[in-house]
Structure 1
Amino acid sequence: MSVLMELRELQKWYPQGDGVVKALDGVDLTVEEGEFVTIIGPSGSGKSTLMNQLGCLDQPTGGHYRLEGEDVASLNEEQLSHIRRKTIGFVFQGFHLLPGLTALENVELPLYYQRIPALERRRMALEALDRVGLSHRAEHLPAQMSGGQQQRTAIARAIAPRPPLILADEPTGNLDRQAGAQIMELLRQLWQEGRTLILITHDPDIAAKAPRTVVIRDGRVVEEVRRDQMP
């Protein structure tokens, strides 16, 4: 496997009063293509800030981040936006579905911004909904679906453009145990199909479902766990 992302001494500091908050304080991390990595830490540890860096949603204060060999800090906003559209599928705890759009229309949205023609866009969105088991809910609004179905719609939206990397931030946080287990199984299947999966969590049981877990505390990676056998 080749290296997909490489972080060296990555820093993200925020001004606070007369000082700074060191949300990330020298993070070193390498992720290879096709890995499934969970990142775990308590509230305030810096894991969501790290997710924003990995997803090119924010620029670092210092250090280096290379994604597919590209130095992220050297890119402008248009270039970062292109990388996000081409390379990364995002799954968030809060679903972030537009309430006035159907499941199908929500899934089509990132394809629209990529200027994919309408018929191809519709075909790709339907294919993604079918992949998550929701083709029968294509014309339903988010309010007409359960939390688990909304999250599966969000996953369909993330995978519809066929990105090689999926970043999931607490994807089971708003779900009951059964729905959460279904979402984790779906994400795991997507990883087994060849995608790179990075999942942020505060739950040790969720973290243990990956072959590799990175523990972050006070803005630093303090431990890594690798598992030969998966639960």
Structure 2
Amino acid sequence: MPHLICVENVSKIYPFGPQEVRALDRVSLYVDEGEFVSIVGSSGSGKSTLMNILGCLDVPTSGHYYLEGQDVALLRDGQLSHLRGDKIGFIFQSFNLIPTLDAVENVELPLTYQRMPKEQRHQRALWALEQVGLSDRAAHRPSQLSGGQQQRVAIARAIASSPSIILADEPTGNLDPQSGEVVMEILHRLHRQGKTIVLITHNMEIADETDRIITIQGGHLAQQQSAS
């Protein structure tokens, strides 16, 4: 059975004036269905570049990325958009909520691109907010929510389409310790429900909560190990 996520000798090079920056250098890794994996590394190590490739937001300069056995490079733009919307949920450190929309409208927004009927879209968004314990904040705008609540809205947005994969880029990075614990509890619950989760973090205490730790240094895969 193929790995859910398989990265083979992936490099990513960015032009920088007359020179080049090699953000990733021949990285190979895999993630199996149902795993909870963390990717750790210092700032500039290449972990966010790797996450963008895993999320089909960027493409490798060389190498191959297979998702569910499909070579992502062979997919057309429409197929990539469908893949992102159907299979992958994104959680970002900065929440990325639209300030003029309330919580339920923010959660609904990605579903509009899937041409989901309005009423079904609304019900899915309410369901997702319930999953993160924010049913009573559905009509609140981001400015009326704490940082922890905003991140929970962002998680609701990520799971509203019932993706099989959650990609979380420093989801606790802007939160106080208590709010960070709540977010991690939600991610663990999603994992128990069968979601595959890939988490970027610089916090080794958080990484130790996952099944496996992948360390990126200077664009290279430095280490893979089971978490303690």
TM-score for both structures, normalised by structure 1: 0.96
1:107–1:157 CA contact under 8 A, matched in 2 = yes
**Distance in 1 separating the partners of 2:78 and 2:180:** 35
SS in structure 2 of the partner of residue 223 of structure 1? strand
1:104–1:139 CA contact under 8 A, matched in 2 = yes
Q: What residue is the counterpart of 1:144 in the other structure?
A: 144
Q: What residue is the counterpart of 1:201 in the other structure?
A: 201
Matches within 5 A, 1:169-208: 169-208=169-208
Residue deviations 1:78-136 (CA, integer Å, cap 9, x gap):
22111100110000000000001010001111111111111111111111000000000
Q: What residue is the counterpart of 1:115 in the other structure?
A: 115
Taking only the aligned residue pairs, the percentage that are identical comes to 57
Q: Does 1:158 align with 2:158?
A: yes
Amino acid in the other structure paired with 2:34: G
TM-score for both structures, normalised by structure 2: 0.97
Q: What residue is the counterpart of 2:68 in the other structure?
A: 68
Deviation at 1:208, TM superposition (A): 0.8
**Distance in 1 separating the partners of 2:199 and 2:123:** 28
**Distance in 2 separating the partners of 1:44 and 1:77:** 28
1:2–1:33 CA contact under 8 A, matched in 2 = no
Deviation at 1:2, TM superposition (A): 5.0
Q: Does 1:21 align with 2:27?
A: no
Deviation at 1:75, TM superposition (A): 2.0
Q: What residue is the counterpart of 2:51 in the other structure?
A: 51
Deviation at 1:17, TM superposition (A): 2.7
**Distance in 1 separating the partners of 2:136 and 2:35:** 31
2:2–2:69 CA contact under 8 A, matched in 1 = no
Amino acid in the other structure paired with 1:113: Y
SS in structure 1 of the partner of residue 188 of structure 2? helix
SS in structure 2 of the partner of residue 86 of structure 1? helix
SS in structure 1 of the partner of residue 108 of structure 2? helix
Amino acid in the other structure paired with 1:35: E
Residue ranges of structure 2 left out of the alignment (5+ in a row): none
**Distance in 1 separating the partners of 2:174 and 2:54:** 23
Residue deviations 1:147-178 (CA, integer Å, cap 9, x gap):
00000000000000000000000000110010
Residue ranges of structure 1 left out of the alignment (5+ in a row): none
2:2–2:68 CA contact under 8 A, matched in 1 = no
Q: What residue is the counterpart of 2:89 in the other structure?
A: 89
Q: What residue is the counterpart of 1:219 in the other structure?
A: 219
SS in structure 2 of the partner of residue 3 of structure 1? coil
**Distance in 1 separating the partners of 2:54 and 2:112:** 24
1:42–1:217 CA contact under 8 A, matched in 2 = yes
Structure 1 range deviating more: 76-85 or 133-142: 76-85
1:5–1:67 CA contact under 8 A, matched in 2 = yes
**Distance in 2 separating the partners of 1:92 and 1:112:** 20
- RMSD, aligned CA: 1.1
